[in-house]
Amino acid sequence: MIRENSQLKENLESVKGRIRDAAIRAGRSPDDVLLVGVTKTVRPDIMRNAYDLGLGDFGENRVQEFIRKADIINRECRWHFIGRLQTNKVKYLDHRVSLIHSLDREELARALQARGERIGKVWDVLVQVNVSGEDTKAGVPPKDLKDFVRAVAKLGNIQIKGLMTIPPYTEDPEEVRWVFRELRKLAVDMQRERIENINMEFLSMGMSNDFEVAIEEGASIVRVGSAIFGERV
């Protein structure tokens, strides 16, 4: 984990530079790729420094840690929830979260809908897809995606804004290029269905070890932790 602000600045600039280069290589505008800094286990003071260095989006994967930090960071940042979400924890996200990346099952959709009705909120969500089919990964199987999206689209307090995936871990990001390409294809397929109340604005894919490949394959949100904040302890 980093300690020095100078190191944080260097890491952040390096990641932003790599995002820019990957986007340009792919003939895309760097502005079309949103960097979410993944801050699980990162101290709030370091997060504030990151914000002051220009990082405006933070991602957390555990509700407890998320709400603790959201209450003390004291900056106008946007919060992304990127981990598995238990239905009984939905209420803690309420007015704090900008985008939930991990809608992965109907039970969770029902819980979000019920909470949304109660507090008068429409949740912006991405549907997590288990493209690689690993047993250990959350996410809707690609073959079920269309039915899932159609069902969620009927829920008025949930707005689907795109798809998210987590590929298998690998040293060589070329090995998971197909996963990113497949998610992009699925988004195009969904768009063609012209389902009311959904859009495919965001593709959340790419982490520290593979975000450049993800951008080449169309990522519009990358979730980067250790490349910015150092190895997690």
Ligand X SMILES: *Cc1c(COP(=O)(O)O)cnc(C)c1O
Residues near ligand X (CB under 6 A): 38, 40, 61, 82-83, 166, 207-209, 223-227
Among 185, 184, 174, which residue's Cα sits nearest to residue 212?
A: 174
113 or 130: CB nearest ligand X: 130
Alpha-carbon distance of 59 to 228, in angstroms, equals 13
Closer residue to ligand X (CB): 184 or 223: 223
Nearest to 15 by CA among 45, 43, 47, 55: 55
Give me the least distance between CB of 192 and ligand X, in Å please.
27
Q: How far is the CB of 60 from ligand X (least distance, A)?
A: 9
Q: How far is the CB of 117 from ligand X (least distance, A)?
A: 28
Nearer to ligand X, 46 or 82 (CB): 82
Q: Rounded to an integer, what distance in angstroms lies between the CA atom of residue 225 and that of residue 163? A: 20
Which C-beta is closer to ligand X: that of 172 or that of 193? 172
The Cα–Cα gap between 84 and 95 comes to 19
Nearest residue to ligand X, using CB? 225
Supply the minimum distance, in Å, between the C-beta of residue 156 and ligand X. 27
Q: Give the chain's end-to-end CA distance (angstroms, integer).
A: 6
Task: State the CB neighbour count (10 A cutoff) for residue 230.
Answer: 16
Backbone phi, psi, residue 79, to 5°: -110, 135
Q: Which is nearer to ligand X, 37 or 218 (CB)?
A: 37
Compare residues 98 and 197 and give the one whose CB is closer to ligand X: 98
Whole-number minimum distance, CB 173 to ligand X, in Å?
11
Quick one: 159 or 226, whose CB is closer to ligand X? 226
- Minimal distance, residue 27 CB to ligand X, in Å: 25
Please state the closest distance from residue 164 (CB atom) to ligand X, in A.
8
